[in-house]
Amino acid sequence: MTVEEYQAASRWQRLYYRVYRHPVLMFGCGPGIVFLIGNRFTHKDSDDRGRKSVRVTNLALLMILILAHFTIGIKTYLLIHIPIMLVAGAMGVWLFYVQHQYEGVYWARHEDWEPLRAALEGSSYYKLPKLLQWITGSIGLHHIHHVQPKIPNYHLQQCQDDVDIFQRVEPITLRTSLWSLTRHLWDEKQNRLVAFKALRREVSG
C-alpha cells in the first residue's frame, strides 16, 4: 500500500494489511498456508493450462502420500517433509521479498515507469556469501536478471564483473537487508519506503 491508500483505508483494511505484512505471517506460517492450501485450488482467473497444472500437481501429491503410507507411513513423511517445506518456503519468500523492497528502491506508477531504471534500481543486488550465492543459483544478482532474463544463472556473476553499468548498482548485504522488515508503506511524495511509525510521528507532529 501507499501511504495515501493506507490512510484512506478502513480500520479493518488497515488491520488486515498489518497482519499480512507481519514477518511472523509473511515468513513463518504464510508460505505453508500458500503451498499447502492456497496452491491446491484453481483461481477464477486461471486459464486451462493453469487449471491443468493444479490438477496434475494435486494428483502427483496424492500418489506421493499413498506411496508414503505404504512405506514409511504418513506421520513420518509429514514430520520430515513439512519442516523442510516451511524452512524452504520462508527462505524463498524472503529472497523474493528483499529483491524489490529495500532502502533506495525505485517504484513508479505505470505511466511513469522506466524499464531500465526499474531493472537496475527497482531490483536489488543481494550480495550473498559465495556459498549462499551458489546454493541459491545466484538469485541475488536480480538486477541483471531484470535487464536480460535470458542470461543463465551461471553467467550472472561474470556479467556483474564485466559490465560497468551493473557495477554501479549499490549492493545490499545480509545485515543491511534486515532494514526491509521495518518498512511497509510506499511514500509517493518522498519516493521511498517508510515504516508504520512514520505515520504516527507525522500525526503527532
Instruction: Report d(CA 184, CA 201) in Å as an integer.
Output: 15
Contact call for residues 181 and 23 (beta carbons, < 8 A): yes
The predicted pLDDT at position 33 comes to 87
pLDDT, tens digit, for every residue of 173-184?
A: 999 999 999 999
Listed as ranges, residues in the chain with pLDDT below 50 are none
Nine cell digits for residue 156: 550472472
Site of grid cell 520462508 = 90
Instruction: Give bridge partners of residue 141 from the DSSP assignment.
Output: 125
pLDDT, tens digit, for every residue of 24-63?
A: 888 888 888 888 888 899 888 888 888 999 999 999 999 9
Percentage above 90 pLDDT, the chain: 65
Could you give the 3-state DSSP secondary structure of residue 193?
strand
Contact call for residues 156 and 138 (beta carbons, < 8 A): yes
Contact call for residues 156 and 146 (beta carbons, < 8 A): no
Contact call for residues 193 and 8 (beta carbons, < 8 A): no
Q: What are phi and psi of 185, to 5 degrees?
A: -130, 150
Nine cell digits for residue 12: 479493518
Q: What is the DSSP letter of 170?
A: P
Instruction: Report d(CA 184, CA 9) in Å as an integer.
Output: 15
The predicted pLDDT at position 31 comes to 85
